[in-house]
């Protein structure tokens, strides 16, 4: 596999080795030691899967405190624009975001460490997204940030998204300052 760093330290793109022949393909979608060597420590304790239609934006979401989640995202069907936002107070990259197209045909994955908000926009007719989490879902630890927060200025490829009722009402990042995680230069 090939590890591609992004502009945000800790957020990485993983390009797996895909073995193709007349039968189809084979790849490792996860290998504990290889991912650990790449800085993705885990452990992963929960797998999630979503199915969404074109024009959907899910996010921006994160869990904070003792239930902070790292996420290893992969696309099983379709294509998305995946976004990670550094929301760790005191981080040199606080409020910055990185976005990338992820599709089932490329088999690429994105790792988003704890302390980063995550969201995605569906670019294909439908998309199925799977992600491994380093902590179980805990509703009391979850916070959301407005997908269209002008201070973040995320260049979403969708102007009028389909949103959940919850995602329609998330506050801007500045309204969450007391709930945001704190940056630690020793954390990974």
Residues 90-142 pLDDT 10s = 999 999 999 999 999 999 999 999 999 999 999 999 999 999 999 999 999 99
Could you tell me where the DSSP H helices lie in 51-186?
Answer: 165-168
Write down all domains in the chain, each with its CATH number in brackets. Answer: 2-176 (2.60.120.10)
Residues 129-188 pLDDT 10s = 999 999 999 999 999 999 999 999 999 999 999 999 999 999 999 999 899 999 988 654
Residues labelled catalytic: 61, 131
**Residue 110 CB neighbours (<10 A):** 26
């Amino acid at each position: 596999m090939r590890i591609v760093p992004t502009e945000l330290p800790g957020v990485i793109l993983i390009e797996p080795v895909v073995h193709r022949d007349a039968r189809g393909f084979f790849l490792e979608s996860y290998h504990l030691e290889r991912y650990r060597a790449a800085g993705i420590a885990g452990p992963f304790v929960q797998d999630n899967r979503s199915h969404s239609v074109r024009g959907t934006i899910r996010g921006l979401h994160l869990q904070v405190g003792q239930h902070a989640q790292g996420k290893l995202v992969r696309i099983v069907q379709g294509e998305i624009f995946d976004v990670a936002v550094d929301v760790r107070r005191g981080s040199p990259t606080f409020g910055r975001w990185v976005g990338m197209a992820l599709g089932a045909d490329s088999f690429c994955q994105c790792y988003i460490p704890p302390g980063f908000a995550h969201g995605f926009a569906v670019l294909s007719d439908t998309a199925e997204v799977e992600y491994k989490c380093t902590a179980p879902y805990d509703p009391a630890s979850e916070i959301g940030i407005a997908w269209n927060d002008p201070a973040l200025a995320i260049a979403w490829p969708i102007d009028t998204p389909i949103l959940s009722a919850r995602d329609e009402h998330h506050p801007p990042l500045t309204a969450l300052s007391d709930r945001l995680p704190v940056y630690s230069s020793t954390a990974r």
